[in-house]
Amino acid sequence: MQSKAEGVLLIIGGNEDKTGECHILRTFIEKAGGREAKIAVLTTATQMPEEVGIEYKMVFEWLGAEVVDIIHVADRPRAFDQHLADHFSMYTGVFFTGGDQLRLTSILGGSTIEQAIKQTFARGGVIAGTSAGASVMSHTMIVGGDSSETPKKATISMAEGMGLIDKVVIDQHFAQRGRINRLLAVVAQNPNVIGVGVDEDTALLVEASGKCHVVGSQTVTILDGRQIVHSNISDSSLFDPLAITNVTLHILPDGFGYDLHTRRPYVSHK
């Protein structure tokens, strides 16, 4: 129920501010070392790597980072490039852009580059991801599902993620795309997993201690199913409506936090 190493995760719900105060991206740079920050912008998830990479490079340089490199790993052979992987030893922060989380896992999964990213995290680096780059951080990630219907088994499809955080499943663009139904289905299937729904222009900053802080203009929704009393998830068909009772729900704006160990929210003192 915590990040698996000594680093910090910044889980961003998508569409974060890049032209105003840039509160979320500024937090990323500050956590990565401020004016000594050395950042890798990983554009694997997007179909527009040059355009998206340049946009983030300009923002991070404006926010004061010392080094910002755009790294596009477009295929499996590139993901096993040892020379490229060796570069990650210098980075204090890695940023996953949005796009398609299955591109990230299918290209990077089990590769030399993935191991290099995890080593950056293990030595205290900051791993940030927006939209698809947020979903990929957990062991099991949501890769699709209809968020407009009544909750049911068929609401979601899942795949293996990068495993940077334990016993958590992340959904993004959460309130804006009405995705609470599919996160409820996740929690019903495994009540020990904490469902984390992150709104746009909002992030959850996860420290190695398991303490989390909400950053941004909207909210983070936490679903805790440990106290579920009744659920029909094992008895229902794929398209039957989901029955689930006694789910604990927290909605947390900036200034609030959540402890993954105690599963309790708190007023954050960042």
**Is 131 tagged catalytic?**
yes
Which of 30, 61, 66, 149 is catalytic? The answer is 149
Which of 131, 138, 147, 231 is catalytic? The answer is 131
> CB of 186 within 8 A of CB of 135?
no
**Is 111 tagged catalytic?**
no
Which of 111, 147, 173, 213 is catalytic? The answer is 173
**Is 149 tagged catalytic?**
yes
- Active site amino acids: 131, 149, 173
